[in-house]
Amino acid sequence: MKIALINENSQAAKNEMICNTLKSVVEPTGHTVFNYGMYSAEDEHPLTYVQNGILAAVLLNSGAADFVITGCGTGEGAMLACNSFPQVLCGHVESPLDAYLFSQVNDGNCIALPFAENFGWGGELNLTYIFEKLFCAPGGGGYPKERVVPEQRNKKILDEVKKVTHRDLVSILKELDRDLVVGALSGEHFAEYFYANCKDDAIAACVKELLA
């Protein structure tokens, strides 16, 4: 699985710690982490939580990432921004229990974490346990297990609803404020990671046009 990490400006100083924690959990099980920044509070390519949503949508819709880890001070803004886009199902996760239930019941492809609220002493340990429970089993396994059939059915229903309530991503990107989109896709390693992993020619062409 290709897992993308995205940090916005208010919590960019925690990027290295978050990335190292994530890698320590998922890389031993064969997953790959792509850190899309921000890489520090002084990063020359700032991201707002709205731009986190744009970047997450581009990565997930294009197949450049299979799962996105993002967040902000409370995690709420990043979650709302991500869920504004098609084919992004983002959960707000504060605890290992949240992570496990979101994975098993909702089978989403993105989480938004609170990197400031209640993030005190031992915060990195909570992150470790969250990542462990998030990726300890394939998503959609159900909880409790006897609920797996209706839970999987509801997930499919939600996916179909989102197809109706959201337009295709290329149309959305072209109608959004260009500077907003370009800012979201201008990180130091975006081009390096994105084009090597993108599986959607139409989205790749749109991104190239916007960044030209």
- For the stretch 154-206, pLDDT in tens is 999 999 999 999 999 999 999 999 999 999 999 999 999 999 999 999 999 99
Domain that holds residue 196: 2-211
> Tell me, what's the pLDDT at 100?
98
Asked if 129 and 22 touch (Cβ cutoff 8 Å), the reply is no
Tell me the CA distances in angstroms from 18 to 22, 90, 143, one per residue in order: 6, 18, 28
Q: What 3-state DSSP class applies to 15?
A: helix
Q: Please state the rounded mean pLDDT for residues 92-116.
A: 98
> Per-residue pLDDT tens for 116-133?
999 999 999 999 999 999
Which residues does 110 contact at the CB level (< 8 Å), separation at least 6? 56, 60, 67, 68, 69, 70, 82, 88, 89, 90, 91
> Tell me, what's the pLDDT at 203?
98
Q: Please state the rounded mean pLDDT for residues 103-121.
A: 97
Which amino acid, one-letter code, is at 122?
G
Strand partners, 2: 32
Strand partners, 67: 3
**Residue that the structure tokens 């959004």 belong to:** 176
Compute, in degrees rounded to 10, the torsion defined by CA atoms 19, 60, 53, 128. -30
For residue 168, give both structure tokens: 């295709």
Q: Please state the rounded mean pLDDT for residues 55-83.
A: 98
Which residues does 193 contact at the CB level (< 8 Å), separation at least 6? 4, 34, 36, 64
> Tell me, what's the pLDDT at 21?
98
Proportion of the chain above pLDDT 90, given as a percent: 100
Here the CATH number for the domain that contains residue 120 is 3.40.1400.10
Q: Which residues of 187-203 are buried (b: 16+ CB within 10 A; e: fewer)?
A: beebeebbeebbebeeb
Domain total of the chain: 1
> Which residue, 36, 1, 11, is CA-closest to 131?
1
